[in-house]
Copies of this chain bind each other. A is one copy, B any other.
């Protein structure tokens, strides 16, 4: 009996639909025979919000929660549009999904594929993964302000860290490192953020005793950015807080060929909720509709999705096809040309 994968697809705004269309073609092509992808499209995004006034309500969430997985392109409109300020779409859609679907692992692999130029003069071997916490830290929305707009305004942001939340992502970090090259680096700022940092450090120290094969290392977040540009080869698995992970993964994407190639997974490892896969890049309204967007990050997100669903062979085939395509790229190609080339290389 053929397995059916119930997939929610949120193409989103800007270049989102273009890259998702290529990614879906690759997905359908690679599972051919082994599984059937039953894709349901959802209109969520900045465009949908501007048309309907709705971002994502409880019924939408319930619908999405019923699928096996979610594939998202990119959301976000014109950053100068006053109706979209303050990250209303980012928080109302992307972050809302991460919290509602308990995506406590934000998984961001970084690999400098052969043939891809890096801004670094001598990048060396770049192949690591960032396990970013996804449901705590300064992202919880527990800030507040008083006397707003007056000379006496005070605006606070609260980073919330729990033993429960830190331990589960740290465990995932150790599992990941154990399956890779056995090297886990905790990144934090323990010398300043002593309470949160202490919890993270003690949790890593304790869980480490269960993983004698994993070497553990610690870096302050500022020092980590230095090593990402001077010696990225030292990294295998990084485990870190939500905000530090946000910063480090954009830098990691930059050194490995840009966010046009970076895939990510918002993962609920327990399987209680569907996980969501998306390119790290945004909706890039400036180049939307011109066939200029690189669908590679979206296609690599499909590989992560396949891996998550237990289709490891299919995932490996997609990654290999991307690697083959990147190794032989020359000249500018359109979105659909890249998609077709990767499909052909499958």
| A226–B250 touching, CB < 8 Å | yes
Is residue A152 within 8 Å, beta carbon to beta carbon, of the partner chain? yes
Contact of A156 (CB < 8 Å), options: B158, B167, B259 = B158
Tell me if A298 counts as interface (CB < 8 A to partner B). no
Q: Are A191 and B86 in contact (CB under 8 A)?
A: yes
- Tell whether, in the assembled complex, residue B192 and residue A138 are in contact, meaning their CB atoms are under 8 Å apart: yes
> Which one, A23-31, A60-68, A217-225, A269-277, is touching chain B?
A217-225
| Interface presence of A91 (CB below 8 A) | yes
Residues of chain B contacted by A197 (CB below 8 angstroms): 86
Residue with the greatest number of chain B CB neighbours at <10 A, chosen from A138, A161, A225, A258: A225
Determine whether the beta carbon of B162 is less than 8 Å from that of A159.
no
Provide the A123-166 mask, 1 if CB < 8 A to any CB of B, else 0: 00000000000000011000111011111111111111111100
Stretch with Cβ within 8 A of B (4 or more), from A113-121, A169-177, A288-296, A321-329 = A113-121
Does A78 interact with chain B (Cβ within 8 Å)? Answer: no
Does any Cβ of B come within 8 Å of A56's Cβ?
Answer: no
**Contact of A215 with B by CB under 8 A:** no
- Complex-state Cα separation, A167 to B155, whole angstroms: 13
Residue of A122, A144, A246 contacting most chain B CB atoms (<10 Å): A246
CB distance from A83 to the nearest CB of B (A): 14
The reply on A5 being an interface residue by CB < 8 A is no
Q: Which residues of B are found within 8 Å of A255, using beta-carbon distances?
A: 229
Residue of A87, A148, A153, A160 most packed against chain B (CB within 10 A): A153
- In the complex, are the beta carbons of A192 and B225 less than 8 A apart? no
Name the residue on B nearest A165 (C-beta). Answer: B154
Identify A226's interface contact among B87, B194, B259, CB under 8 A.
B259
Number of identical protomers: 2
Contact A155 B247 (CB under 8 A): no
Cβ–Cβ contact B163 & A119, under 8 A: no
A255, B90: Cα distance in complex, Å: 30
Docked complex Cα distance between A163 and B221 (Å): 27
Bound-state Cα–Cα, A299 to B158, Å = 39
Complex alpha-carbon distance, A162 and B149, angstroms: 11
Shortest A186–chain B CB gap in Å is: 14
Report the Cα distance A139→B194, complex, angstroms. 10
Please, how many angstroms separate the alpha-carbon atoms of A95 and B250 in the complex? 28
| A and B contact pairs by CB, cutoff 8 A, 25 listed | A87-B190, A87-B191, A118-B121, A119-B229, A139-B192, A143-B193, A145-B199, A149-B202, A151-B164, A152-B162, A152-B164, A154-B160, A155-B195, A155-B199, A156-B158, A156-B161, A157-B161, A157-B195, A157-B196, A192-B246, A225-B250, A226-B250, A226-B251, A226-B254, A229-B255
Interface residues of A (CB under 8 A from B): 86-87, 90-91, 95, 118-122, 138-139, 143-145, 147-164, 167, 189-199, 202, 221-223, 225-226, 229-230, 243, 246-247, 249-251, 253-255, 258-259
4 closest A-B pairs (Cβ-Cβ)?
A87-B191, A222-B250, A153-B163, A225-B251
